Amino acid sequence: MTLEAEKLMNVPTIPAPATALPPASSEVHVRNMDQYKALYEQSINDPETFFGEQSKALSWDRDFDKVLYHVGNNFSDSPAWFVGGKLNASYNCVDRWALQTPNKVAIIYEGDDAEKGYSITYSELLVRVCQMAQLLQSKGVKVGDVVTIYLPMTPEAVISMLAVARIGAIHSCIFAGFSPGAIKDRVIDSNSHVVITCDKGYRATKVIQTKKIVDEALESCPDVKTVVVINRDPSSPFPQNPERDVIYPDAAASFKSYCAPVPVDSEHPLFLLYTSGSTGKPKGMQHCTAGYLLGALLTTRHIFGVTPDDTLFTSGDIGWITGHTYAVYGPLANGATTVIFESTPVYPTPTRYWDIVDRHKVTQFYTAPTALRLLRQYGHEIIDKYDLSSLRALGSVGEPIAEEIWEWYFNYVGRGRCTVCDTYWLTESGSHLVSSIPGVTPMKPGSAGLPFFGIKPAIVDPVSGHEITERPAEGVFAISQPWPSMARSIFNDYARYQDTYLKPYPGFFFTGDGASIDSEGYIFIGGRMDDVVNVSGHRLSTAEVESSVLDATMDGESMMTECAVVGVDDEITGQALVVFAVCEPWLKDDIASGKKIPQDISIETILIVRKEIGPFAAPRKVYLVDDLPKTRSGKILRRVLRKIVAGEEKQLGELSTLSDPSVVPALIDAVKNQK
Q: For 331-386, what is each residue's pLDDT tens digit?
A: 999 999 999 999 999 999 999 999 999 999 999 999 998 899 889 989 999 999 99
Taken as a whole, the chain contains a residue count of 675
Torsion angles phi and psi, residue 482, rounded to 5? -65, 155
CB atoms within 10 A of CB 211: 23
Q: CA–CA separation, 150 vs 159, rounded Å?
A: 13
User: If you ran DSSP here, which 8-state letter would residue 82 be given?
Assistant: E
pLDDT over 90 at 13, yes or no: yes
Q: CA–CA separation, 387 vs 406, rounded Å?
A: 20
Torsion angles phi and psi, residue 611, rounded to 5? -75, -40
Q: For 100-140, how does the pLDDT look when each residue is reduced to its tens digit (9 = 90+)?
A: 999 999 999 999 999 999 999 999 999 999 999 999 999 99
Are 544 and 282 spatial neighbours (Cβ–Cβ below 8 Å)?
Answer: yes
User: In angstroms, what CA-CA distances link 163 with 154, 197, 237, 670?
Assistant: 15, 14, 26, 54
Burial 117-135 (b: 16+ CB within 10 A, else e): beebbbbbbbbbbbbbbbb
Burial 19-35 (b: 16+ CB within 10 A, else e): bbbbeeeeeebbbeeee
User: In angstroms, what CA-CA distances link 360 with 10, 308, 367?
Assistant: 38, 15, 17
Name the packing angle between helices 663-673 and 638-645 (round to 10°).
40
Rounded average pLDDT over 303-323? 97
Local confidence band at 654 (pLDDT 50, 70, 90 cut-offs): low
pLDDT of amino acid 571: 84
Torsion of CA 117, 123, 124, 129, to 10 degrees: 120
Is residue 271 classed as helix, strand or coil in its secondary structure? Answer: strand
User: In angstroms, what CA-CA distances link 165 with 13, 115, 169, 257, 289?
Assistant: 43, 32, 6, 17, 9
Share of the chain above pLDDT 90, in %: 80
Are 182 and 174 spatial neighbours (Cβ–Cβ below 8 Å)?
Answer: yes
Rounded average pLDDT over 17-22? 97
CB atoms within 10 A of CB 538: 23
pLDDT over 80 at 632, yes or no: no
pLDDT over 60 at 252, yes or no: yes
Rounded average pLDDT over 610-634? 86
SS (H, E, C) 136-185: HHHCCCCCCCEEEECCCCCHHHHHHHHHHHHCCCEEEECCCCCCHHHHHH
Q: CA–CA separation, 217 vs 195, rounded Å?
A: 11
Q: Which segments of 254-351 does DSSP mark as H helices, in order? A: 289-303, 321-323, 330-333
Torsion angles phi and psi, residue 516, rounded to 5? -130, 155
Rounded average pLDDT over 655-675? 86
Local confidence band at 74 (pLDDT 50, 70, 90 cut-offs): low
Q: CA–CA separation, 493 vs 497, rounded Å?
A: 7
DSSP notation for 462-524:
TTT--B--SSSEEEEEEE-S--TTS--EETT-HHHHIIIIISSSTTSEEEEEEEEE-TT--EE
pLDDT of amino acid 631: 66
Q: CA–CA separation, 330 vs 51, rounded Å?
A: 17
Is residue 272 classed as helix, strand or coil in its secondary structure? Answer: strand
Instruction: Indicate the range of 163-177, 412-426, 614-628 predicted with least confidence.
Output: 614-628
Tell me the sheet residues that pair with 581. Answer: 563, 624
pLDDT of amino acid 249: 97
Query: Which of 620, 542, 556 minimizes the C-alpha distance to 587?
Result: 556
pLDDT of amino acid 71: 67
Rounded average pLDDT over 496-500? 93
Highest averaged pLDDT of the listed ranges 45-54, 66-75, 552-561, 625-634: 45-54
Domains of the chain: 3-88+289-452+480-488+515-528 (3.40.50.12780), 118-262 (3.40.50.980), 534-673 (3.30.300.30)
pLDDT of amino acid 7: 61
Identify the helix (H) or strand (E) that includes residue 194. strand 194-198
Q: CA–CA separation, 509 vs 94, rounded Å?
A: 33
Distance spanning both ends of the chain, measured CA to CA: 36
Q: For 127-185, how does the pLDDT look when each residue is reduced to its tens digit (9 = 90+)?
A: 999 999 999 999 999 999 999 999 999 999 999 999 999 999 999 999 998 999 999 99
pLDDT over 80 at 6, yes or no: no
pLDDT over 60 at 633, yes or no: no
Tell me the sheet residues that pair with 230. Answer: 198, 248
Tell me the average pLDDT of the chain.
93
Q: For 31-65, how does the pLDDT look when each residue is reduced to its tens digit (9 = 90+)?
A: 999 999 999 999 999 999 999 999 999 999 999 99
Q: Which segments of 482-637 does DSSP mark as H helices, in order? A: 494-497, 542-550, 585-593, 598-612
pLDDT of amino acid 58: 99
Torsion of CA 510, 516, 519, 522, to 10 degrees: -80
Query: Which of 322, 540, 306, 290 minimizes the C-alpha distance to 423?
Result: 322
Is the pLDDT higher at 3 or at 60?
60
pLDDT of amino acid 658: 76
pLDDT over 70 at 656, yes or no: no
pLDDT of amino acid 205: 87
Amino acid (one-letter) located at 367? T
User: If you ran DSSP here, which 8-state letter would residue 584 be given?
Assistant: -
Q: CA–CA separation, 199 vs 339, rounded Å?
A: 22
DSSP notation for 3-52:
HHHHHHH----BPPPGGGSPPTT-SSS--SHHHHHHHHHHHHH-HHHHHH
